[in-house]
Amino acid sequence: MSVNSKSIYHTKNLDHDYFEKQIVHPYESTKQFFKFLNKYKPLKNKKIIDLACGSGANLFYLKKNFDLKQCWGFDQNSYLIKTAKKFTKKKNIKSLSFKRQDIEDLNFRKNKDLRPDGVISIQTLSILNDYEKVIKFAKNLKPNFICVNSLFWQGDIDFKIAVNFLKKNNRKTVKINHYNIYSIKHYIKFLKKFGYKKISIKKFKTKKKLQTKNKNLMGSYSINLDGSSAIKSGPIILDWYFVLASK
């Protein structure tokens, strides 16, 4: 599995603060995401796979607050998987395991014990080139539902936004990330093709005032937009949506 050495998700470029802080202080969006999911798919006794689980923070929150049967986390980054495994051991969390895995690898063959009720992916589809491979990967795991938190747009437009972090003194790209925003209508159509026909959607809103140190860098902060609160990062308005698709 080769990760672009300039990607902000390559081990040498990782924002450790982002991944480690949320283990102790889960994001408001994480709490609302699971509240939303639990409303439609009661999580008690469920088996869940988290695609691109990072340091496992979302699964730790999930295991602590809902009575799940079994959870698995997949991520391509071995450092983050190690961090997740260490915390699981330290806190003696049962029925939770992590695996280094490329979630765009369609040759993945699941072992017969991996039988999830649901697959989740949080704040990840937008940082990939596209969502199609991950959704195919997810449906190959044969879950009853697939629930994501990602950036979406109501119109028939996909925005492929590459963020190139440049050197101070010349235009050389030192790090890269994506903030893709997908047409929600077309995303849903894609899921329906695989039999995920029941759809529930919620746009993430928070009363919390998000702040960032330097608005010229990337980092979420609250703004007032058309009379209501919105989230911005650099020049981009972040419309996070929770989208649940089930059979």
Ligand X SMILES: C[S@@+](CC[C@H](N)C(=O)[O-])C[C@H]1O[C@@H](n2cnc3c(N)ncnc32)[C@H](O)[C@@H]1O
Residues that bind ligand X (CB under 6 A): 9, 52-54, 57-58, 75-77, 80, 102-104, 122-124, 127-128
Residue 7: CB minimum distance to ligand X, A: 8
Nearest to 133 by CA among 162, 151, 108: 108
Q: Quote the least distance from Cβ 1 to ligand X, whole Å.
A: 7
Around Cβ 214, how many Cβ atoms within 10 Å? 7
Q: Around Cβ 72, how many Cβ atoms within 10 Å?
A: 22
Q: How far is the CB of 229 from ligand X (least distance, A)?
A: 21
Please say which residue, 4 or 45, places its beta carbon nearer to ligand X. Answer: 4
Measure the CA–CA gap between 222 and 206, rounded to whole angstroms.
9
Given the structure tokens 């088996």, which residue do they identify?
47
Name the residue nearer to ligand X (CB basis): 46 or 54. 54
Cβ 161 to ligand X, closest distance in Å?
14
- Residue 170 Cβ vs ligand X, minimum distance, rounded to whole Å: 28
SS3 content of the chain, % helix, strand, coil (to 5): 30, 30, 45
Show the tokens assigned to 104. Answer: 């765009």
Q: Between 70 and 121, whose beta carbon lies closer to ligand X? A: 121
| Nearer CB in complex with ligand X: 85/185 | 85
Q: Please identify, using beta-carbon distances, which residue of 104 and 117 lies nearer to ligand X.
A: 104
Establish how many alpha carbons lie within 13 A of residue 98's alpha carbon, considering only the half-sphere containing its beta carbon. Answer: 26
8 A C-beta contact, residue 41 and residue 145: yes
